[in-house]
Amino acid sequence: MTQKVYNSGTGRFADGLTKAGARIEHYAQHATAFALANQVYENQKMAVKMADSLKNEGINKMSMYGTFFLLQGLYNSNQGVLARQIMSNPSDYTGSRTWANMMYNTGATLTTEAWDSTIKSNMSYSHAWGSAPGTWLIQGLFGIKPTEPGWNEAEIKLQPGGVESASVSVPTTKGKISADYKIEEDGTITLQMKIPSNMKMKIIIPGTEGQTLRINGTETEVAYNTEGYLETTLYGGSYLITGGQSAIDNSELKECQNIVYRSCGKDWSAYETDGGTTGKSQPLHKIQMRLNQIDGNVKYSVHVNSKGWLGWAKNGELAGSSGMAKRLEAIEIKVVPKGENIDRGRNAYYSKEQTLNTE
């Protein structure tokens, strides 16, 4: 699969293959996210590049349901910072795909069916689809999960991701696991744990090669893996573990403010960073985009009902159709350096009277 649909230059997976076996040159965020979730990568370096490609898109574009698998993939590939940003990013931009937006801006007190009402106007305000953090705070941030049936063996793999302290209690068939950690000012981790008496637990803590851990006051040599973690194994009991190293990263994902656009259903909207037709019950037929306060070219291609993907438009040119009742179904956007050749392929714009790139 990595040979067929992975683009090693960008770190992204394509959506699939044509009947002839050629790679489809369209890269939805979902394709890379699901590959990460299912550990479809050859090594940690490749996983990091895939995660970076997701971060470079600026915001989460997944559905609420799909974001469960996005978080799974990020924690699988040791990208706890990005996972935490997606869960906690406090952007007040309407439509943001974060739980902070859900709680701050929709007034929800339970997880909702969609990110907010601009995406689904009749959404439920109590829906299991939105409960992904309930899983990934335990299995991702704390990394507590069984590694053998019946919890005979388990592991805790801390990925704080900028959360300076947290505690959790996890019921299992062997008894309750409790964990409480704090990142000290120098980055050292203090972890208090209680492990059920009949359980074997692998402890995995961020650290650097050559470091030791102090366990209940005793300096203890531990293994180091090449992914940047210290490892040791403990059995049932209460433990105070200190050591390792975890950087504090409280940064936020940023919404894209460098592209402005306007779109047309029945009427044109204004050029804005959110230049859509929300609340007007109008399918979009055409769109124009341009860059805001940065150098380069913005190119964009739209998928039109019954016509498929059109060619590339750039820098304010029209993309879509006019007078043909063909709605836009998807859009791909790329920012490229000035002077870079843009292979337009098919026409980017169709009208009832003629086939042109301008109107």
Q: What are the residue ranges spanned by the domains of the chain? A: 2-134, 143-243, 259-351
Q: Look at residues 191, 190, 199 and name the one whose alpha carbon lies nearest to residue 237.
A: 199
Check residue 271 and give its pLDDT. Answer: 59
Check residue 357 and give its pLDDT. Answer: 41
Check residue 248 and give its pLDDT. Answer: 64
Check residue 249 and give its pLDDT. Answer: 67
Check residue 283 and give its pLDDT. Answer: 75
Residue pointed to by tokens 């990394």: 143
Q: Where are the alpha helices (DSSP H) in the chain?
A: 2-5, 29-37, 44-56, 64-76, 80-88, 99-105, 132-136
Q: Which residues make Cβ contacts (< 8 Å) with residue 207, sequence separation at least 6?
A: 213, 224, 228, 229, 230, 243, 244, 245
Check residue 191 and give its pLDDT. Answer: 97
Asked if residue 319 lies in contact with residue 287, where contact means CB atoms within 8 angstroms, the answer is yes
Averages of pLDDT over runs of 10 residues in the chain (359 residues) are: 89 92 89 92 89 76 88 91 81 67 81 85 89 93 96 96 92 96 88 96 92 93 87 96 79 64 72 52 78 78 83 87 81 81 77 50
Residue pointed to by tokens 């981790």: 189
What architecture does CATH give domain 143-243? Sandwich (2.60)
CA distances from 301 to 15, 203, 274, 318 (A): 16, 48, 18, 10
